[in-house]
């Protein structure tokens, strides 16, 4: 097998993909077809075989017998970017969690500040990837569950697909719990404490909360689909058995279907027909007989025509748009950030990024509010500290 040529730069790769974008678009749309012949490709390359050979030599497409296929790496890239993939990539999340655990270990063991910063940056990138990949897997799982139930004709295969998707749901849930355990590493998040790390941790926790809610709904949907599939399968077996007995001309003797049909009266359950006829406005305004009928119906229904005059002029004050701005701190987001690090409550409040200047009095008020709101989830130590004229107790997340 000849070795493939390599693109020497990103610019060369982009130019090659742009030149053959019509061919790649057509091959991607037919990626599930196993009969894409070279004659199809020649239409998009101005009937120049050397352009097709260039893509083959550079690993963009490959020959499969008499047919052409788009390389898997490009198929996966396009599916990921366009969000049209059907595979649930649990393995990629598991691999990312392994890389996250390794980089946390490297950070804790490293003594050089520059290299520690590199490992800390790797942790941030991996956390973002895990959060986005988890939400993507949940969306793909939901779509695959609906597709398996609605499009699979075989009841046996349909049930197997749903059970396999349920196992993938359990795997996603297990990976979420594993990542949350790593996010609870107080030693790492205390040493690597910075605003961006706190923000990323809170974003990932938010992604996991959304994923958990969707996984609960998917679990309920899978159970419902499996139960419906079993009922439909049982009904199909009964119908097949009845069809067999009917073909054998023994269904009246061997079953009670005839008696059941005689007991039913389907006409009774039919909806009552209701025809709504709208009269034209022209007839209602010109036909005296129609107007008399309308007045008689209105009198019987107790409807009276009220005299309507011209509405008063709207006060201009109601049309004036006024805007009032107030400063407020989202205590829920502040609490999530506080739990993700290891410093005491007042120090965290003082160092938090509020994006505007705040006085020490503002910090004291917020400190008291947080201590009162989350008292059950806080650990009050006996140690105290002083700042300015204020003495406060050191409070930590329990």
| 248 within a domain of the structure (yes/no) | no
The answer on 227 and 152 residing in a single domain is yes
The answer on 74 and 112 residing in a single domain is no
The answer on 101 and 42 residing in a single domain is no
The answer on 117 and 169 residing in a single domain is yes
The answer on 120 and 219 residing in a single domain is yes
CA terminus-to-terminus distance, the chain: 62
Q: Which of 176, 208, 238 is the last residue of a domain?
A: 238
CA distances from 310 to 38, 249, 276, 317, 355 (A): 77, 80, 34, 20, 52
pLDDT at 40: 87
Q: Give the DSSP H or E segment for 396.
A: strand 390-397
Rounded-to-10 torsion of CA 12, 14, 18, 22: 110
| 290 within a domain of the structure (yes/no) | no
| 309 within a domain of the structure (yes/no) | no
The answer on 195 and 60 residing in a single domain is no
Q: How far apart are CA 125 and CA 96, in angstroms?
A: 10
Q: Which of 238, 267, 282 is the last residue of a domain?
A: 238
Q: What is the DSSP letter of 192?
A: T
The answer on 96 and 25 residing in a single domain is no
The answer on 94 and 229 residing in a single domain is yes
Nearest partner of 348 among 394, 391, 309, 382, judged by Cα: 394
Q: 189: domain range?
A: 90-238
| 331 within a domain of the structure (yes/no) | no
Q: What is the DSSP letter of 34?
A: S
| 304 within a domain of the structure (yes/no) | no
The answer on 234 and 101 residing in a single domain is yes
The answer on 145 and 60 residing in a single domain is no
Q: Give the DSSP H or E segment for 159.
A: helix 155-183
Helix, strand or coil for residue 86?
coil
Q: What is the CB neighbour count within 10 angstroms for residue 294?
A: 14
| 315 within a domain of the structure (yes/no) | no
pLDDT at 145: 92
CA distances from 279 to 83, 165, 285, 294, 295 (A): 52, 56, 11, 11, 15
Q: Which of 44, 61, 82 is the last residue of a domain?
A: 82
CA dihedral over 168, 173, 176, 178, signed as positive or negative: negative
The answer on 347 and 222 residing in a single domain is no
Q: What phi, psi does 84 have (nearest 5°)?
A: -125, 15
pLDDT at 220: 93
| 245 within a domain of the structure (yes/no) | no
| 277 within a domain of the structure (yes/no) | no
pTM of the predicted structure, to 2 decimals: 0.53
Rounded-to-10 torsion of CA 172, 173, 179, 182: -150
Count of structural domains, the chain: 3
The answer on 178 and 139 residing in a single domain is yes
254: tokens are 């061997």
Per-residue pLDDT tens, the chain, 398 aa: give them. 455 667 888 998 999 889 999 999 988 888 877 778 888 888 888 888 898 899 998 889 988 878 888 888 888 888 778 877 767 778 888 888 899 889 888 888 888 888 888 988 888 899 998 998 898 889 889 988 998 888 888 888 998 999 999 999 999 999 999 998 888 877 777 777 778 888 888 899 899 999 999 999 999 999 999 999 888 888 888 888 888 888 888 888 888 887 887 777 766 667 777 777 777 878 777 888 888 888 888 888 777 665 555 667 777 777 777 777 777 777 888 888 888 877 888 888 888 887 778 888 888 888 888 888 888 888 888 788 888 888 888 888 87
Q: How far apart are CA 12 and CA 128, in angstroms?
A: 30
């Amino acid at each position: 097998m000849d070795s493939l040529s390599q693109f020497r730069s990103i610019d060369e790769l982009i130019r090659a993909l742009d030149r053959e974008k019509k061919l790649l678009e057509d091959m991607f749309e037919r990626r599930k077809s196993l009969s894409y012949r070279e004659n199809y490709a020649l239409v998009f390359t101005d009937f120049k075989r050397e352009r097709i050979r260039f893509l083959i030599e550079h690993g963009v497409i490959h020959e499969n017998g008499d047919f052409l296929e788009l390389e898997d790496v490009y198929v996966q890239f396009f599916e990921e970017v366009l969000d049209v993939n059907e595979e649930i990539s649990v393995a990629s999340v598991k691999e990312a969690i392994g890389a996250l655990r390794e980089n946390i270990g490297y950070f804790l063991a490293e003594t050089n500040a520059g290299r520690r910063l590199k490992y800390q940056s790797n942790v941030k990138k991996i956390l973002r990837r895990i959060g986005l990949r988890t939400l993507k897997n949940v969306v793909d799982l939901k779509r695959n569950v609906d597709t398996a139930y609605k499009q699979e004709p075989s009841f046996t295969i349909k049930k197997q697909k749903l059970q396999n998707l349920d196992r993938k749901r359990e795997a996603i849930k297990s990976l979420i719990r594993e990542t949350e355990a790593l996010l609870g590493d107080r030693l790492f998040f205390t040493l690597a404490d910075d605003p961006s790390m706190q923000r990323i941790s809170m974003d990932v926790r938010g992604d996991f909360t959304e994923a958990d809610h969707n996984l609960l709904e998917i679990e309920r949907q899978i159970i419902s689909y499996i139960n419906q599939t079993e009922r439909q399968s049982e009904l199909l077996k009964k119908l097949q058995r009845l069809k067999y007995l009917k073909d054998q001309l023994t269904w009246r003797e061997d079953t009670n279907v005839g008696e059941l049909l005689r007991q039913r009266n389907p006409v009774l359950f039919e909806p009552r027909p209701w025809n709504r006829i709208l009269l034209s406005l022209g007839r209602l305004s010109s036909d005296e007989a129609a107007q008399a009928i309308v007045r008689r119906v209105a009198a019987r229904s107790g409807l009276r025509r009220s005299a309507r005059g011209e509405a008063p002029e709207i006060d201009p004050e109601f049309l004036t748009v006024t805007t009032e701005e107030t400063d407020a701190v989202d205590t829920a987001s502040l609490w999530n950030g506080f739990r993700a690090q290891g410093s005491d409550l007042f120090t965290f409040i003082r160092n938090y990024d509020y994006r505007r200047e705040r006085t020490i009095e503002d910090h004291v008020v917020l400190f008291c509010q947080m201590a009162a709101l989350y008292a059950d989830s806080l650990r009050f130590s006996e140690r105290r500290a002083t700042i300015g004229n204020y003495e406060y107790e050191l409070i930590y997340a329990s």
